[in-house]
Amino acid sequence: MDLRSLSVHEAHFGRLPVVDGPRIGKPGSLVHELEKSGLRGRGGGWFPTARKVHAVVESAAARRAWSAGRKPVVIANAMEGEPASSKDAILLRHNPHLVLDGVTALAATLGAEKAYIAIHRGSPIIDVVTRALADRNDPVTIELVTPPARYVSSEESALSHWIGDGVGTPVFGKRPFERGVNDRPTAVQNAETMAHIGLIARFGGEWFASVGEPTAPGTCLVSVSGVVNSPGVIEVAVGTPVSEIINRCNGFSGESSGFLTGGYGGAWVSQDSLMAAHWSPDSVAAAGGVIGAGILWALDARTCPLHEVARVAHWMAGESAGQCGPCRFGLPSLADDLDVIAGKHAQMSDVHRLNARLPLVQMRGGCKHPDGTARFIGTAMHVFQAEVAHHLRGHCCATTSGTALPIAGMRPSPVGFPGKDFK
Ligand X SMILES: Cc1cc2nc3c(=O)[nH]c(=O)nc-3n(C[C@H](O)[C@H](O)[C@H](O)COP(=O)(O)O)c2cc1C
The footprint of ligand SF4 (CB under 6 A) covers: 152, 170, 320-324, 326-327, 365-367, 369-370
CB of 7 to ligand X, least distance (A): 28
Q: State whether residue 269 is helix, strand or coil.
A: strand
Cβ 52 to ligand SF4 shortest distance, Å: 21
The phi and psi torsions of 422 (rounded to 5 degrees) equal: -115, 20
The three-state secondary structure class of 99 is helix
The one-letter amino acid code at 128 reads V
Cβ atoms of 77 and 188 within 8 Å: the answer is yes
Q: Say which DSSP state 313 is in.
A: H
Residue 189 interacting partner from ligand SF4, ligand X, none (CB closer than 5 to 8 Å by kind): ligand X
Shortest distance in whole angstroms from residue 223 CB to ligand X? 12
Residue 111 partner contact from ligand X, ligand SF4, none using kind-dependent CB cut-offs of 5 to 8 Å: none
Is 150 or 390 the residue whose CB approaches ligand X more closely? Answer: 150
CB of 131 to ligand SF4, least distance (A): 33
Beta strand residue intervals within 78-158, DSSP E? 114-118, 141-145
Spatial separation of the C-alpha atoms in residues 1 and 141, rounded to whole Å: 27
> Would you say 84 or 351 has its CB closer to ligand X?
84
**Comparison of 120 and 391: residue with beta carbon closer to ligand X:** 120
41, interface contact from ligand SF4, ligand X, none, CB < 5-8 Å by kind: ligand X
Phi and psi based region of residue 185 (left: phi greater than 0; alpha: psi -120 to 50; beta: remaining)? beta
Among left, alpha and beta (phi > 0; psi -120 to 50; other), residue 77 is: beta
With vertex at residue 86, the alpha carbon angle to CA 166 and CA 219, rounded to the nearest 5 degrees, is 110
CB of 184 to ligand X, least distance (A): 17
Q: Which of 351, 354, 311 is nearest to 333 (CA)?
A: 354
Closest to ligand X by CB, 183 vs 371, is 371
> Which residues make up the interface to ligand X (CB under 6 A)?
41-45, 47, 77, 79-81, 151-152, 154-156, 188-190, 193, 367-369
Q: How many residues are there in the chain?
A: 423
Name the residue whose CB lies closest to ligand X: 41
Shortest Cβ distance from residue 173 to ligand SF4 (Å)?
11
Choosing among ligand X, ligand SF4, none, which partner's interface includes residue 357 (Cβ < 5 to 8 Å by kind)?
Answer: none
Nearer to ligand SF4, 258 or 318 (CB): 318
Cβ atoms 13, 199 nearer than 8 A: yes
In the complex, the smallest distance separating the C-beta of residue 387 from ligand X, rounded to whole angstroms, is 27
- Rank residues 111 and 370 by Cβ distance to ligand SF4 and give the closer one: 370
The residues near 417 (Cβ < 8 Å, ≥ 6 apart) are 322
CB-nearer residue toward ligand SF4: 289 or 372: 372
Q: Least separation, in Å, of the C-beta of 129 and ligand SF4?
A: 26
The end-to-end CA distance of the chain, in Å, is: 39
Which of ligand SF4, ligand X, none interacts with 289 (beta carbon under 5 to 8 A by kind)? none
Shortest Cβ distance from residue 56 to ligand SF4 (Å)?
22
- Residue of closest CB approach to ligand SF4: 365
Sheet holding 73-77, edge to edge: 141-145, 114-118, 73-77, 186-190
Distance CA(386)–CA(210), nearest Å, equals 43
Query: Tell me, what amino acid is at 292?
Result: G
What percent of the residues of the chain are helix, what percent strand, and what percent coil, each to the nearest 5? 45, 15, 40
The site partner of 231 among ligand X, ligand SF4, none (C-beta below 5 to 8 Å per kind) is none
Q: Which is nearer to ligand X, 104 or 154 (CB)?
A: 154
Among ligand X, ligand SF4, none, partner that 323 touches (CB below 5 to 8 angstroms by kind):
ligand SF4
Shortest distance (Å) from residue 72 CB to ligand X? 15
Which value, to the nearest 10 degrees, does the dihedral of the CA atoms of residues 228, 233, 238, 241 take? -10
Query: What, of ligand X, ligand SF4, none, does residue 204 touch, CB below 5 to 8 Å by kind?
Result: none
Tell me whether residue 342 or residue 367 sits nearer to ligand X (CB atom): 367
Beta carbons of 21 and 111 less than 8 angstroms apart: yes
Residue 300 contact among ligand SF4, ligand X, none, beta carbon within 5 to 8 Å by kind: none
Query: Amino acid letter at 28?
Result: G
